[in-house]
Amino acid sequence: MKAFILAAGKGERLKPLTNNTPKPLIPIKGKPLLEWNLLKLKSAGITDVVINLHYLGDEIINYFGDGRNLNLNIQYSMEQNLLGTGGALIQGNFFLDDSPFILLSGDLWTNYPFSRLVTKVLESKAHLVLIKDQNKPKGDFNLVDSKISTDIKNNEFTYSGISLIDPSIIPNEEPTSKELWKDILESHAKKKQLTGEIFHGLVKNVNNFIDLEQLDVAITE
């Protein structure tokens, strides 16, 4: 199984910290945010990783190289222009095969056990890990018989940034700016073709300096 990490963003809300450092390389407890995720993926048995890049992408390449220092095989999908979370998969599809892959946001820290997705038999077009975001009382999704639903009035959960994807849902077209939910996943959700699970552990998106401070306190590893 492969993993695809979305790491192309500019980290605007973390300037000036991100003026010369891409957000995935921001140190968390002395280790770059992206390295935490790579090591957790490796511990789950995943050694083939694709990372999409744009802003200061060369800094990430210079830091991790081909991944051999971490006993990983890392390939990079460099975007000349930002393609969004959906466009990134269309361009990066070249690096994938026909097997389901883990999709991971590169700006989050989590203690989610990726081994759960490695051993999962995917019986849908995608399997999304959902969380209850305390900063977002009104969620985007609910689960009905393990299927992702957006039809319920009082949706409780949000997408964590972690999922297992069937590559057949990636459009076979020239890469343009597209979003993962709106342009790829939503149509499958309407057909009840997406499953999900609720994770009650730590998933922290690093979007601003408050997030960094909270994460520094939360991590006990």
Mind listing the domains of the chain with CATH numbers? 2-218 (3.90.550.10)
In this prediction, residue 150 carries a pLDDT of: 86
Residue 50 and residue 67 in contact, taking contact as beta carbons nearer than 8 Å = no
In this prediction, residue 138 carries a pLDDT of: 80
In this prediction, residue 199 carries a pLDDT of: 97
List phi, psi (to 5°) of 211: -60, -40
In this prediction, residue 136 carries a pLDDT of: 73
In this prediction, residue 185 carries a pLDDT of: 96
Residue 145 and residue 191 in contact, taking contact as beta carbons nearer than 8 Å = no
Give the CA distances from residue 156 to residues 20, 24, 104, in Å, rounded to whole numbers and listed in that order: 38, 29, 21
Residue 109 and residue 136 in contact, taking contact as beta carbons nearer than 8 Å = no
In this prediction, residue 152 carries a pLDDT of: 74
In this prediction, residue 48 carries a pLDDT of: 98
Q: Which residues of the chain fall below pLDDT 50?
A: none
